[in-house]
Amino acid sequence: MAFLADSLSRVKPSATIAVAQKARELKAAGMDVIGLGAGEPDFDTPDNIKDAAKAAMDRGETKYTPVSGIPELRKAIADKFKRENGLDYEPAQVIVGTGGKQVLFNAFAATLNPGDEVIIPTPYWVSYPEMVAICGGENVFVETTLENEFKLRPEDLEAAITPKTKWFMFNSPSNPSGAAYSHEELKALTDVLMRHPHVWVLTDDMYEHLVYGDFKFATPVEVEPALYDRTLTMNGVSKAYAMTGWRIGYAAGPLQLIKAMDMIQGQQTSGACSIAQWAAVEALNGPQDYVHDSRKVFEERRDLVVSMLNQATGLDCPRPDGAFYVFPSCEKLMGKKTKDGKVLENDEDFVTALLEQEGVAVVHGSAFGLGPNFRISYATDTESLTKACERIQNFCASLS
């Protein structure tokens, strides 16, 4: 009898974590490696947030918290949804988790039965399909294209829906492509969903505040209020406030679903870290200067990276409206040979050779369900980004 659960055979390890690990190992061995694989801001958490955490410790806020989050944070989140998204949620409709991952996982665990389908546009964040698989659901992937800026077309969503569809997994701005949907583009998708009342929407808005130029962020329920009773809106403080290590994600949705997620979390981890929750209260309620300032820096980095990658032989890099990723295509370089004679047959070959030859760590696009592409995170300093893009240009020029 096998010791490990059968469900593990359906799950792959995280490619983004694997890339970061390989880059660390090469660095430790003395190689000059620039890591562009990590999805976290390179800035420190703002001082006002750290001060709030210290004050919470000094007040003795060091005990277990309610499973769904401290009342002050649930209220701050409800206020944020009202203020920034025009959405009305009671604090009882809000749940706080140990990062956005836990919130998503608990939503799937609370709702998926064997055979239930989850529609996931590709490219997708690596953890979505693995969470669905662990929870017994079936992934239904719907491909997007570079020509459509990696955005799902309404007709493709319509074609993917079956009587077994339980969730539509939506992420804008997107990890890994940075694609962000305008109000009009979202309306075309919500119109489809309105024709299929059995399909619920799980929207990952983690990169909400990282949008550039004149782009205006919108979330599905804001665009189509009639979806309110079948949408879970997930967000968090990690990307907007450089709080990745604090591990605070949150969501709001129908009370019945929040209660079910609370029950799962109560048997799993209970409440998130008390100090991190008080820090998150300050992040949401306090001054928002950091969000504005960091957005400006990320926008400049995006423009630099897109410009330099499009000057590289054989790469095609669209300019995304959000997040801190680009997702260039390396299709024109497939079949080319590296300096040491290795033929590049797919995007994994491309990123492996790039790391070994030039010391630049990126993640292959097929890990996100769409290749031949690769993902670059530009959440690192401008000097490193410039150097990395020069190395990518050199690498592409060296192929024959």
pLDDT in tens, 278-321: 999 999 999 999 999 999 999 999 999 999 999 999 999 999 99
Q: State the CATH class of domain 61-285.
A: alpha beta
Is the CB of residue 103 less than 8 Å from the CB of residue 95?
Answer: yes
Give the tens place of pLDDT for each residue, 329-354.
999 999 999 999 999 999 999 999 99
What pLDDT was estimated at residue 1? 85
d(CA 370, CA 123): 5
Query: What mean pLDDT, rounded, does the chain reach?
Result: 96
What pLDDT was estimated at residue 308? 98
Give the tens place of pLDDT for each residue, 244-290.
999 999 999 999 999 999 999 999 999 999 999 999 999 999 999 99
- Residues 6 or more apart in contact with residue 339 via CB below 8 angstroms: 357, 398
Taking 80 as the threshold, does the pLDDT of residue 15 lie above it? no
Taking 90 as the threshold, does the pLDDT of residue 13 lie above it? no
Residue type, 67: V
What pLDDT was estimated at residue 148? 95
Taking 80 as the threshold, does the pLDDT of residue 143 lie above it? yes
pLDDT grade, residue 36 (50/70/90)?
A: very high
d(CA 323, CA 179): 8
Q: How far is CA 5 from CA 2, 9, 257, in A?
A: 8, 8, 27
What pLDDT was estimated at residue 23? 82
Residues shown for the chain: 400
Taking 90 as the threshold, does the pLDDT of residue 81 lie above it? yes
Residue of 251, 230, 277 lying closest to 94 (CA atoms)? 251
d(CA 362, CA 382): 16
Instruction: Name which of 28-37, 128-137, 223-232, 377-386 the model is least confident about.
Output: 28-37
First-last CA distance in the chain: 51
Taking 80 as the threshold, does the pLDDT of residue 213 lie above it? yes
What pLDDT was estimated at residue 396? 98
What pLDDT was estimated at residue 38? 82
Ranges of H-type helices in the chain: 15-28, 47-58, 71-85, 100-111, 127-134, 154-160, 183-194, 220-223, 255-268, 274-285, 289-310, 347-358, 382-398
The strands making up 138-143's β-sheet, listed across from edge to edge, are: 94-97, 249-252, 231-236, 200-204, 165-171, 117-122, 138-143
pLDDT grade, residue 207 (50/70/90)?
A: very high
d(CA 136, CA 134): 5
What pLDDT was estimated at residue 17? 77
What pLDDT was estimated at residue 5? 87
d(CA 28, CA 47): 31
Phi-psi region of 335 (alpha: psi -120 to 50; beta: other; left: phi over 0): left
Over residues 54-75, the mean pLDDT reads: 98
The structure's pTM equals: 0.96
What pLDDT was estimated at residue 27? 86
What pLDDT was estimated at residue 11? 84
d(CA 98, CA 246): 8
**3-class SS at 165?**
strand
Largest CA distance in the chain: 64
Preceding omega of 173 cis (within 30 degrees of 0): yes
Residue the block writes with tokens 């956005």: 100
Superfamily name with CATH number, domain 6-44+290-398: Aspartate Aminotransferase, domain 1 (3.90.1150.10)
Residues of the chain with CATH 3.90.1150.10: 6-44+290-398
Taking 80 as the threshold, does the pLDDT of residue 19 lie above it? no
Preceding omega of 46 cis (within 30 degrees of 0): no
d(CA 201, CA 257): 12
Residue of 307, 217, 259, 285 lying closest to 95 (CA atoms)? 259
d(CA 70, CA 357): 50
Over residues 155-171, the mean pLDDT reads: 98
Is the CB of residue 237 less than 8 Å from the CB of residue 48?
Answer: no
- Residues 6 or more apart in contact with residue 303 via CB below 8 angstroms: 319
Strand partners, 233: 203, 252
pLDDT grade, residue 18 (50/70/90)?
A: confident
Residue of 316, 327, 340, 314 lying closest to 396 (CA atoms)? 314
Taking 80 as the threshold, does the pLDDT of residue 180 lie above it? yes
